[in-house]
Amino acid sequence: ARPSRGRAAQARLRSGQWVQRLSADGESEQEIESFDQLRWVLTEAALSGQDLTLWAGSAPQSATDEYRLPLSTLGPVESADVELFARIGIVAPWSAPVLGELLEQGAAARAGLQAGDRVLSVDGLVVRDAQQLRQLIRTGLDRQGNGLAQAWVLERRGNRLELTVRPEPQGEGPQRVGRIGAFVGTPPEMVTLQEDFLGGLVQGLRRTGEVASLTLGMMGRMVVGLASLDNLSGPISIAEYAGKSASLGGVAYLSFLALISVSLGVLNLLPLPVLDGGHLLYYLIEGVTGRPIPEQWLERLQRAGMALLLALMSVAVFNDIARLLG
């Protein structure tokens, strides 16, 4: 995992450590087999306000050091987004601060940087990973939004070099950030997990239950006002993220489709008129009372359910458009 500023830094977790297992307050320990699983547990713990105990080390076999992650101090969590993980301090898998492909007319190329350069420090600050370097580039602007001259120390084919790099501003207003026109970071180390048929089935059912539980939990938090309605996404965002996941490969794309399918299934089973869950509720009431719901009440409930769904769709589409324009 790659700790940044946040609760992970307070717990003295270090960049590049391996998290082997963890435990939430009052629960048994669980093994962590992937970064995706770690993010999922962090999300659930942050939403429920639970502190975590992690066992981590410099290598999987030596992950025996104990760390206390005080997620209960985050306060009310409205969205499970990038900002949440920034507050936690574990943003992305560890990646080396090495430059990849450069744009011909970008700030990196003009400064004399080359693909394969490993950045050691920026303005005297030691760079430990790619995420930290990206953040230094993004914030390399003055108050007027112009690029600041940064003193980079880097390693190139065994030689130590010092160059001045000035990030180029991109975007407007609060979205204005620095860019250098280069791919930053090496691909994170991948771990392949294999299960037999029964194990895969168990894992699939477990993950489906976790996604359904998280979906219901977020819906409940939005209803009582503990979570923002900004969490609602419509067809525009779904199409956008489907394209992004497809560009990452077949596994990422299928995982995204599974997530959408489970979320829509949970939504469809809610006991609301016009949804399948509403019809099941009608059948349950009829089975308990022994008589069907009066037609006039069915019509009123259908209208109310349709109005509620149209309102949710309107909010979701509005959020999509706001994200595109923002």
DSSP codes joined into one string, 147-216: BPPEEEEEEETTEEEEEEE-PEEESSGGG-EEE-SEEESPPPPP------HHHHHHHHHHHHHHHHHHHH
Domains identified in the chain and CATH numbers:
2-92 (2.30.42.10), 99-184 (2.30.42.10), 197-325 (no CATH)
Q: How many Cβ atoms are within 10 Å of 242's Cβ, its own excluded?
A: 14
Residue 178's pLDDT band (cuts 50, 70, 90): very high
- pLDDT class for 108, splitting at 50, 70, 90? very high
CB-based contact 53:67 (threshold 8 Å):
yes
Which tens digits make up the pLDDT trace of 27-79? 788 888 888 888 888 988 888 888 999 998 877 666 678 899 999 888 777 77
Show the tokens assigned to 153. 């120390």
Question: Kind and range of the H or E element at 51?
Answer: none
Residue 237 has a CB neighbour count (10 Å cut-off) of 17
pLDDT digits (tens, 9 = 90+) for 244-253: 888 767 877 8
Residue 162's pLDDT band (cuts 50, 70, 90): very high
Tell me, what's the pLDDT at 16? 82
Q: Rounded to an integer, what distance in angstroms lies between the CA atom of residue 151 and that of residue 167? A: 11
Maximum mean pLDDT: which of 132-141, 284-293, 300-309: 132-141
> pLDDT > 90: what percent of the chain?
24
Asked if residue 151 has pLDDT above 90, the reply is yes
More confident residue, 194 or 133: 133
The better pLDDT of the pair 218, 141 is held by 141
User: Which pTM was predicted?
Assistant: 0.66
Q: Is the pLDDT of residue 109 over 90?
A: yes
What pLDDT is attached to residue 8? 87
Q: What is the pLDDT of residue 5?
A: 60
Q: Give the containing element (helix H, strand E) for 224.
A: none
List Cα–Cα distances, 52 to 11, 29, 143, 214, in angstroms. Answer: 11, 10, 38, 18
> Given phi > 0 = left and psi -120 to 50 = alpha, else beta, which region is 165?
beta
In this prediction, residues 277-299 reach a mean pLDDT of 88
Residue 193 pLDDT > 90? no
What is the pLDDT confidence band of residue 186, given thresholds at 50, 70 and 90? Answer: confident
The predicted pLDDT at position 63 comes to: 62
Q: Residue 4 pLDDT more than 70?
A: no
CA atoms of 89 and 100, how far apart (whole Å): 25
- Confidence class for position 240, pLDDT limits 50, 70, 90: confident
User: Tokens 């048929």 sit at which residue?
Assistant: 197
Q: Positive or negative, the Cα torsion across 194, 244, 229, 42?
A: positive
Q: Note the pLDDT tens digit of each residue in 224-239.
A: 777 777 778 888 888 8
Residue 1 has pLDDT above 60, yes or no: no
Sign of CA dihedral 178, 183, 184, 188: positive
- One-letter amino acid of 134: R
